[in-house]
């Protein structure tokens, strides 16, 4: 049995529901599952045992005690994420998500009580992916240390850190012409590592430029190989806003584009909204130059910050990527549907393409089409793949269309 390196705390005053929830998490393979009746007992336990990865809390109708529990645990930094048992409406859940997010805690989702294994499993998978931790066997022996700058520099130089590609697709036709470039570390000892494992360290050691140019090299080589096979594709790269102010960015970019004979018009640069609070003259100049070269500029995770509309007016964006959080509950949240519709209308008015992230199910696809959405990204189409896997995948898609 594979064990999940996840520590869980169940907070539930009802003894039977507490027992059921505890058993569900244990059967799911979580390493450590603890249970208490109230927030006082939770704080006492966590003070002895340390923080947990996931807390399960209940919000009962007509009672705000559960909200107090969530707030106290979040402020104390004892939990990384939370699953909430709740019967409240979706619009209230949206507000709770925002409140908890302000404490730096992620809401993995909402479940009924008593808790069912089928409801918990996808939330555990979501935690594993976003937190960048991985299933391990009990004999694994614990965590790894990746704190050496020299180790990270060597990993980039030796091509252990690889570009992976996730398609942006047409919701109606399924056509794919563009991919977002993501990063994975194929570690010789620990296997495939996700960005949360090492990106904070790369940023701390000021190695983000080295990562970008390594990804760009791999991405341009992929575009060349795809073109040889008859696929004319575009790529989107993620950059932190301050990287656009570095003087080496544009000269190195131009040199590499010329070497691979790839026009800048086949590249888009995605900048997260949270990184756009302050834009220096140097950053703005680089953005303008990229647009003049024909490259696209995308505002990523749109809708989760506080300056979206202002930045859309100030900076030369060509694309809006709507955060996946709006897609996750779009079938139950009228507010999320309204945000998606409004963003689509805004994109049309500003002549910007809108890409909706986080599309994972056929029902979401159909709902988005009804709202007028065309472009999307998410597991419904494909998970991130290596360059070699993408080329095989494209050939399979081409073959399947030929057989229709």
**Which residues are annotated as catalytic?**
357
* DSSP labels, 246-311: -TTHHHHHHHHHHHHT--GGGEEEEEEGGGGSS--HHHHHHHHHHHHHT-EEEEEEETSSS-HHHH
Is residue 115 helix, strand or coil? coil
- Residue 178 CA to chain centroid, in angstroms? 18
Expressed in percent and rounded to 5, the helix, strand and coil fractions of the chain are 50, 25, 30
- Residue 382 CA to chain centroid, in angstroms? 14
Q: Count of CB atoms within 10 A of residue 31's CB? A: 15
CA distance 226 to 165: 13
CA distance 78 to 36: 14
Find out whether 220 and 179 touch, Cβ atoms under 8 Å: no
Find out whether 113 and 83 touch, Cβ atoms under 8 Å: no
Question: Minimal CA–CA distance to 72: which of 55, 88, 87, 86?
Answer: 55
* DSSP labels, 23-56: HHHHHTTEEEEEEESSHHHHHHHHHHH--EEEEE
Is residue 315 helix, strand or coil? coil
Q: Count of CB atoms within 10 A of residue 202's CB? A: 24
CA distance 237 to 397: 24
Region of 88 (left: φ > 0; alpha: ψ -120 to 50; beta: rest) is beta
Q: Which helix (H) or strand (E) holds 152?
A: helix 149-157
């Amino acid at each position: 049995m594979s064990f999940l390196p996840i520590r869980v705390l169940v907070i539930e005053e009802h003894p039977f529901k507490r027992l059921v929830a505890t058993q569900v998490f244990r059967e799911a393979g979580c390493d450590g599952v603890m249970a208490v009746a109230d927030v006082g007992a939770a704080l006492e336990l966590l003070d002895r045992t340390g923080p947990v990865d996931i807390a399960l809390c209940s919000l009962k109708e007509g009672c705000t005690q559960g909200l107090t529990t969530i707030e106290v645990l979040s402020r104390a930094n004892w939990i990384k994420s939370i699953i909430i048992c709740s019967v409240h409406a979706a619009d209230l859940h949206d507000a709770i998500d925002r409140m908890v997010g302000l404490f730096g805690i992620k809401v993995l989702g909402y479940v009924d009580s008593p808790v069912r294994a089928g409801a918990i499993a996808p939330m555990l998978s979501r935690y594993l992916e976003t937190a960048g931790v991985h299933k391990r066997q009990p004999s694994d022996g614990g965590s790894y240390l990746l704190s050496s700058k020299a180790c990270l520099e060597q990993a980039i130089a030796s091509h252990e850190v690889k570009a992976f590609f996730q398609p942006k697709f047409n919701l109606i036709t399924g056509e794919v012409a563009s991919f977002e470039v993501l990063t994975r570390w194929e570690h010789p000892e620990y296997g495939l590592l996700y960005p949360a494992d090492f990106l904070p360290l790369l940023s701390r050691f000021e190695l983000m430029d080295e990562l970008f140019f390594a990804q760009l090299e791999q991405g341009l080589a992929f575009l060349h190989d795809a073109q040889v096979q008859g696929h004319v594709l575009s790529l989107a790269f993620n950059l932190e806003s301050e990287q656009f102010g570095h003087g080496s960015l544009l000269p190195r970019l131009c040199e590499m584009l010329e070497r691979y004979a790839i026009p800048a018009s086949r590249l888009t640069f995605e900048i997260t909204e949270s990184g756009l609070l302050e834009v220096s003259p140097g950053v703005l100049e680089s953005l303008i130059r990229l647009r003049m070269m024909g490259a696209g500029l995308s505002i990523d995770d749109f809708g989760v910050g506080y300056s979206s509309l202002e930045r859309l007016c100030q900076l030369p964006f060509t694309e809006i990527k709507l955060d996946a959080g709006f897609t996750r509950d779009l079938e139950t949240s009228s507010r999320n549907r309204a945000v998606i519709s409004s963003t689509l209308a805004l994109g049309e008015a500003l002549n910007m393409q809108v890409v909706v992230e986080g599309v994972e199910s056929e029902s979401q696809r159909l709902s988005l089409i009804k709202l007028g959405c065309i472009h999307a990204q998410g597991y419904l189409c494909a998970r991130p793949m290596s360059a070699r896997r993408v080329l095989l995948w494209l050939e399979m898609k081409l073959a399947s269309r030929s057989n229709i």
